[in-house]
Structure 1
Amino acid sequence: MLSATPSPPLSPRSPRNIHFQFTRPPAESLELKPLPPRTPFLEDGESPYPQLPLQRTVSSVVSVNKELERQLVRKFDRLILPMLMLVYLLGYLDRSNLGNARIMGLPQDILNGDPTGVQYALINSAFYFAYITLQFPATVIGKKFSQNFWLGVAATGWGFCCAMQALSYNFANMFVARFLVGLFESMFSPNISLYFTYFFTRQEIGARLGTWFSCASLAGAFGGLIAYGVQHVNSRVDNWRLLFIIEGFPAVIVGLLCIKILPDRPDTATWLNEDERQLAVMRMSRGGLKEKPRTINMRHVWAAIWDWKIYVYGASYFGANVAASALAAFLPTIISDLGYEGAQAQLFSVPPYVVAAAVLIITMPFSDRLQSRGIPMTVAGLLGGTGFLLLVVQENLHVKYLATFMISTSVYTSIGLAISWFPYNMGSESKRAAGIPLFQAIGQCGSVLGSNLYPNADAPRYFRGFGVSCGMLYMTGFGALLMTAYYRYENARRDRLYGYADRNAAVDTTELADEAHDFRYTV
């Protein structure tokens, strides 16, 4: 018979890994017996298939006092979440205020009227040129720095550059200013998804990221209200210049507060006691071990670059961002072309964003509870695609305005689900640090496309822009459905081969990231 003897632990990081050494007795004493049937519930160190290499969880299920854990999470919710929401609200205001400035007269003042709309489209795209090309190195390099410092510098930088747009007097000035806003935002948004995984588990992150991302739609609402107010100000300064100043400088102040208030990681939070810090670190080992701060596993970085799943995610995110950028840059113009003028168009752009924020905040906790991201994202993509279809085929202004609600709800729900779904399916911090910006860079290419789909020559029907955006959101829904089917298949395959893996067990992902035998994907 085959015999097996446990060897000493492989390393201090994996004290319960077991290495088996097999010895074969003489042939005449070998007695063949059938293998016992596999059971889906395994003890530590037990393999469902003795002939397969053994890989088990590095520890038993991570068990903590639930009440103490709830108190700890509430502390994170009270400090980290509001601060990041405020920063993102200001960031999205600074990103999307160009659409409001357009109908305040910016093209007439510095672009010689821009009769074709090409110059405005290029200025709007300048943000995304920087954001797309720089976020991958910015996120990987940012992992080497204290996260509160990195995020704070990013917010301070884009706020200052946004305010400096008020000094633009020609196309070149505005293009450079928008490029710099994109540069600093590339340091922020991808790092946020990574930063949240330091504090919240996969059962918690959806509601938090959804609440955080709702600030994008709230920024659209506040942006419309602020623009409505600024447009009624009588000043020697052009109203659009005043808008950039009012929305830019608050981000500078809040960015400095981030450096002072936000922690780098749970184990360095000065407002937690020692027991709370230990609890915060221990509970985050569920589903994968944490890496040492400010380190990068280059093997996982390359694994992210070659992972086909990132590119499918990116294609879905691409579709959502085509619609999102169109909504941010052109919703006031679209509403104006529907029959509402000037300040009234600014005001009517508010309700679609408010409804989108409410739906997102309601959807994400249910997604957490069900641990399901793909199906809600599929439904959202189909809803938004249908909204753009209505804009193409309908003449009734009320139906068209209703379609903007469908589109805004779809866009923000799809993106909120995508950014909460993607990070934990990477398996390790280094793979997330590379995968998140790569996924977002692919997706933000859609923002460049969306920014160039609505030339003035197509007004007021914009058949081309609405038609392409419709197809892109349908693609988003299909991509989410495809990934859901794959993850269900892969989880079932691993359960069949390696046995049932408890989602609350600490899985050693330091070598294989999400390819570890006991790692299971969120569907």
Structure 2
Amino acid sequence: MLMKDSDEKLNHASDEAPRTRSPELEQSFIDSPEEKRLVRKLDMRILPITCLLYLFASLDRSNLGNARLQGLPEDVLRGDKSGVLFDWLTSAFFFSYIVCQIPATVASKLFPPKTWMACAAVGWGITSTLMATGFNFPSILVTRVFLGAFEAGFSPQMTLYFSLFYTRKEIGLRLAFWFGFATIAGAFGGLIAFGIQNIHSSVQNWRRLFIVEGVPAVILGVVTYFYLPNRPESTTYLTDREREIAVERMNRGASGDVGAVVNRAHVIAAFRDWRLYIAGVIYFGLNCALASIGAFLPTIITTLGFKANALAQLLTVPPYIVAAIVMLAFAFTSDRLQSRGILMAVSSAIGGVGYLLLIVVTGNVHARYFATFCITSGTYTAIGLTIAWFGHNLGSETKKAAGLPLFMAIGQGGSILGSHIYPQTEGPRYIKGFGSMSFTL
């Protein structure tokens, strides 16, 4: 196993004044009725808001794939017969996302979590909405770059945020539930695109798509500011007794930092941790598949013989729904077994089999459509488990703030590759794309 249960040195090495905890007091909290009530209370407030945030972040990130079938290339990319311009629009998001991830996540520790995430949501919502005003390739390219910048501090910061409130035995299922909304976004995005495509208006379908999926993120950002709990020791959402239990849970098996501070020694330790780079390589392959699914699944569906673009949008829904169910089942099992690696290997194998089916089965539409279920279920489940694996295994809070975006930034390089793996000139077989994806998984 690459990851140990904790980083012992960093759990005890801290520049802050040591906080003494009574072992008897700590033990009295574990699995007590009080603690269980607190977890339920946290779930009811944290999960709805954070899951909706990720839903709209995923919608705004991946709606380019749906817009492609609604006339965007013909309207602003001069037809884009080769598909190269569309590929660059897809990958532009990841360039700014990679560059901004580490500084954004480390800086987020200096601000209340609800303020940071509210501003991020409002920023990416406005940016996504402005994509509807695009009139040529450079204008949409700029909005995609800013979209990546606003979302850069969100995903790794959310993983850090969850680790403040949930223990190692709880975080896997919660992160899977949260990340599962990326699959819900895929299904929901297909339904929205199908509905918009059947509305007749003077405004192009792809422009309405960006507006419909961008505006709710702005509204949700405002809601986030007023309802998302801050850090365990400072949130007013909890009573004094609940805060006492929450702080003990935050420090159970790891050392949380005190308030809005950044421990420089722990940032350096994150960059020196070899496990982060190994995990980054794994995450690279998974993100290569994930980015290609988000941008090209509607296009892949059209290669199965469903030539109507509206039907292709609708047929993207079932694979995402099944992927969400599979992901939750694997996450629940991994939490119970306290083992991520084996289940990651199984889910990656499922995705790899799906891509092999797309390569070798050419005449059976049902088998090829089944393969899309395999690639979505395998890819999303493996990524969810990877994020959960790191959520509680990097030691101190500052090291998590630096380490999580570091391995994610390495992995997002795969997203850039995945954005260019299906050139339109190689359709409908896409041998190179499917073969590369089966290898990376």
| Structure 2 unaligned regions, length at least 5 | 1-15
* Map of 2:12 onto structure 1: none
Residue 368 of structure 2 corresponds to residue 404 of structure 1? no
User: Does structure 2 conserve the Cα–Cα contact (< 8 Å) formed by 1:62 and 1:285?
Assistant: no
Deviation at 1:15, TM superposition (A): 5.5
What is the CA–CA distance in structure 1 between the aligned matches of 2:198 and 2:19, rounded to whole Å?
Answer: 65
2:199 — aligned with what? 233
What displacement does 1:322 show?
Answer: 0.7
The aligned amino acid for 1:362 is A
Aligned-partner residue type, residue 314 of structure 2: L
Question: Cα gap change, 1:64/1:170 in structure 2, threshold over 3 Å: closer, same or farther?
Answer: same
Deviations 1:157-215 (A, max 9, x none): 00000000000000000000111111100021110000001100011000100000100
Cα distance, 1:453 vs. partner?
Answer: 0.5
- Whether contact under 8 Å (2:347, 2:377) holds in the other structure is yes
Q: Aligned runs of 1:463-502 on 2, under 5 Å?
A: 463-473=431-441
Letter in 1 for 2:49: M
2:37 aligned partner = 71
- State how far apart, in whole Å, the 2-side matches of 1:104 and 1:173 are: 18
**C-alpha distance in structure 2 between counterparts of 1:265 and 1:205, whole Å:** 16
User: Which whole-Å CA distance do the structure 1 matches of 2:93 and 2:252 have between them?
Assistant: 37
SS in 1 for 2:233: helix
Aligned to 1:516: none
Once the two structures are superposed, the pairs formed by residues 364-375 of structure 1 within 5 Å of their partners are: 364-375=331-342
Q: What residue number does 2:26 align with?
A: 62
Q: Which amino acid aligns with 1:13?
A: P
The runs of 5 or more residues in structure 1 that have no matched partner are 1-10, 17-57, 474-523
Match of 1:335 among 278, 301, 315: 301
Note if 1:445 corresponds to 2:413. yes
Whole-Å Cα distance in 2 between the matches of residues 308 and 192 of structure 1? 23
Taking the TM superposition and a 5 Å limit, the aligned residue runs for 1:273-312 are: 273-312=239-278
- Aligned-residue CA RMSD (Å): 1.5
- The residue aligned with 2:385 is 417
Rounded Cα–Cα distance in structure 1 between residues aligned with 2:142 and 2:180: 29
Give yes or no for the alignment of 1:269 onto 2:210.
no
Q: Which residue of 2 aligns with 1:39?
A: none
Q: Is the 8 A contact 2:165 2:249 kept in 1?
A: no
Match of 1:353 in 2: 320
Match of 2:100 among 118, 128, 134: 134
1:58-137 equivalence runs, <5 A: 59=23, 62-65=26-29, 66-137=32-103
Give, in whole Å, the separation in 1 of the partners of 2:68 and 2:332. Answer: 37
Query: Match for 1:13 among 18, 21, 28?
Result: 18
Q: For 1:309, what is the secondary structure of its paired residue?
A: helix
Q: Which amino acid aligns with 2:352?
A: G
SS state at 1:222 partner: helix
Displacement after TM superposition at 1:12 (Å) = 6.2
Question: Higher relative contact order by CA 8 Å / sep ≥ 6: 1 or 2?
Answer: 2
Paired amino acid for 2:46: I
State the identity %: 50
Do structure 1's residue 317 and structure 2's residue 283 form an aligned pair?
Answer: yes
Does residue 159 (structure 1) correspond to residue 164 (structure 2)? The answer is no
Q: Partner of 1:46 in structure 2?
A: none
More helix by percentage: 2
Which residue identity is paired with 2:311? Answer: Q
Q: CA deviation at 1:298?
A: 0.9
Contact 2:69–2:309, Cα closer than 8 Å, also in 1: yes
- Aligned partners of 2:236, 2:112: CA distance in 1, in Å? 14
Shift of 1:362: 1.7
- 1:176 corresponds to which letter in structure 2? V
Shift of 1:397: 1.5
CA distance in 2, matches of 1:370, 1:204: 12
Contact 2:171–2:391 (Cα < 8 Å) also in 1:
no
- How far apart are residue 86 of structure 1 and its match? 0.6
CA distance in 2, matches of 1:305, 1:423: 17
**How far off its partner does 1:263 sit?**
1.8
Larger displacement relative to structure 2 (285-294 or 452-461): 285-294
| Runs of 4+ residues deviating >6 angstroms | none
Cα-to-partner distance string for 1:19-40 (whole Å, 9 max, x where unaligned): xxxxxxxxxxxxxxxxxxxxxx
Residue 363 of structure 1: CA displacement? Answer: 1.7
- Which residue of structure 2 lines up, in the alignment, with residue 206 of structure 1? 172
Tell me how far apart the structure 2 counterparts of residues 14 and 159 of structure 1 sit (CA, whole Å). Answer: 40
Tell me how far apart the structure 2 counterparts of residues 250 and 263 of structure 1 sit (CA, whole Å). 21
Relative distance call for 1:215 and 1:14 in structure 2 (3 A) is closer
- From the superposition, tell whether residues 15 and 188 of structure 1 become closer, same or farther in structure 2 (CA, over 3 Å): closer
Output aligned runs, 1:173-184, within 5 Å. Answer: 173-184=139-150
Conserved in 1, the CA contact under 8 Å of 2:124 and 2:151? yes
Q: State TM-score, norm by structure 1.
A: 0.79
Tell me what 1:44 maps to. none
| Number of equivalences | 423
- Displacement of 1:463: 0.4
In the other structure, the counterpart of 1:460 is 428
Shift, 1:423, TM fit: 2.4
SS in 2 for 1:236: coil
Separation (CA, whole Å) in 2 of partners of 1:258 and 1:73: 20
Deviation per CA, 1:453-475, whole angstroms, max 9, x where unpaired? Answer: 000110000000001111000xx
Alignment check: 8 A CA contact 1:64 1:283 kept = no
